[in-house]
Amino acid sequence: MNRRDAIKSATALALGSMASTSVWSQSSKLRVLILGGTGFIGPHFVEVLRAQGHTITLFNRGRRNPGLFKDIETLIGDRDGKLDALRGRDWDVVIDDSGFVPRIVRQSVELLHDHVQHYIYISSISAYADLSKPNLDEDQPLAVLGDPTVEQMSDAAYGGLKALCEQVVQKAYGKRSAAIRPSYIVGPGDTSDRFTYWPVRVSRGGEMLAPGTASDPIQFIDVRDLADFMRLCVERRIGGSYNLCNAPHSVTMGSLLDTSKKISHADTHFVWADATFLEQQHLTDSGELPIWSPPTGATAGAALISPARAVAQGLRFRSLETTITDTLAWQRQRPAAHNMNGGQKLRAGLSPERETELLALLKSRRG
């Protein structure tokens, strides 16, 4: 959608909103504002909500995938000071999937406070202060930044910023808000390649470096399961905080690789490298082995988080087979630069050259 079309669409629906005598929708069909909506997770939210007949409005800068939803109202602006397109409008629920800086989140919270009934903020498990312990639930302390005014995004500041954003929303909306804390969000459309790397690499066959042991747990959430839970939050006005990830030990590194091998019919042979070797090669903090976490250390509990509270509210999970199959199908449709046929490197994972080097080193040490 170009700027002119967005303005026309916004004007038409604004007039319709002004004609209503009720601030909040009294029907089962809700008005939902999504702050963002055209990246990875937003389109999945749009599709699941639209399928239920809800009216969707997007607010973004119009830069990322601008023509993705030509039939949906898109308001053009910027979350940092350019919110005029949102003024004087009412929605039943807002989904904030693009807030990373508390100062900026506060702007939308204050503007929408009397115009939106329920505020849903997409946070992260990184918001917790301590990820070293297992069975972490939503009542654990959140991260605290040494300098709460910092706005530069970094690995060190990310969790603390998310925690502060949560607090901005909760302070303003209280029980009329929800904080959603996903683990790795994976599946079709995930251009981070953190999950995608594994089934794609397995599908290439040959000797493959595998981290840790086959029994090491991993956690993630299929983006479509996240979207389904978001629909429940919207329709039921669910409040509170919720971890979104598969149950601890329900998926292991071994089951991920074995299932990928079965689905892709590859002749892959897994060469398992223990955590000590990986640490010596600086692989535990380089991002080259995504999803997997060492069984000890500061992030040992990041793969053992409890989603029980969300499950009690209706969170359900697709099978590992479905997530892998659909991820591979989506990967095959991506431009050639993102395919690993011919050894091209994804945004995450080991390059073929790096993997070959590590396999040779591992074999030499084992004799």
What is residue 79's predicted lDDT score, i.e. its pLDDT?
95
Pair (283, 154) in one structural domain? no
Write out pLDDT tens, residues 255-296: 999 999 999 999 999 999 999 999 999 998 888 999 999 988
Tally of domains in the chain: 2
Pair (240, 124) in one structural domain? yes
Q: What is the CATH number of the domain that holds 351?
A: 3.90.25
* Assigned domain for 366 exists: no
pLDDT-derived band at 170, boundaries 50, 70, 90: very high
- From residue 251, give the alpha-carbon distance in Å to each of 255, 339, 352: 6, 25, 26
Pair (215, 273) in one structural domain? yes
Pair (179, 277) in one structural domain? no
Pair (123, 176) in one structural domain? yes
* Assigned domain for 149 exists: yes
**Angle at the Cα of 66 from the Cα atoms of 78 and 187, rounded to 5 degrees:** 100
* Assigned domain for 313 exists: no
Write out pLDDT tens, residues 25-69: 445 899 999 999 999 999 999 999 999 999 999 999 999 988 899
What is residue 251's predicted lDDT score, i.e. its pLDDT?
98
* Assigned domain for 310 exists: no
Q: Is the CB of residue 315 less than 8 Å from the CB of residue 250? A: no
Pair (253, 228) in one structural domain? no
pLDDT-derived band at 357, boundaries 50, 70, 90: very high
Write out pLDDT tens, residues 11-22: 233 333 333 333
What is residue 17's predicted lDDT score, i.e. its pLDDT?
33
**Strands lying side by side in the sheet with 55-60:** 73-76, 55-60, 31-35, 91-96, 116-122, 177-182, 240-244
Pair (75, 160) in one structural domain? yes
130: left (phi over 0), alpha (psi -120 to 50) or beta: beta
* Assigned domain for 365 exists: no
* Assigned domain for 340 exists: yes
What is residue 339's predicted lDDT score, i.e. its pLDDT?
54
Give the whole-angstrom CA distance, residue 237 versus residue 120: 9
Sign of the Cα pseudo-torsion (117, 120, 121, 126, in order) = positive
Supply the pTM of this predicted model.
0.89
Domain holding 214, by residue range, is 197-219+248-305+320-360
Per-chain mean pLDDT for the chain: 90
Pair (335, 257) in one structural domain? yes
Pair (228, 299) in one structural domain? no
Pair (115, 260) in one structural domain? no
* Assigned domain for 312 exists: no
Q: Is the CB of residue 248 less than 8 Å from the CB of residue 135? A: yes
> How many other C-beta atoms can be found within 10 angstroms of the C-beta atom of residue 195?
24
What is residue 28's predicted lDDT score, i.e. its pLDDT?
85
pLDDT-derived band at 337, boundaries 50, 70, 90: low
> Hey, which residues does 271 pair with through a beta bridge?
209
Give the whole-angstrom CA distance, residue 233 versus residue 248: 23
Pair (45, 182) in one structural domain? yes
Over residues 169-195, the mean pLDDT reads 97
335-342 LR contacts (CB < 8 Å, sep 24+): 338/191, 338/193, 340/200, 340/201, 340/204, 341/204
Q: What is the CATH number of the domain that holds 81?
A: 3.40.50.720
* Assigned domain for 163 exists: yes
Pair (154, 263) in one structural domain? no
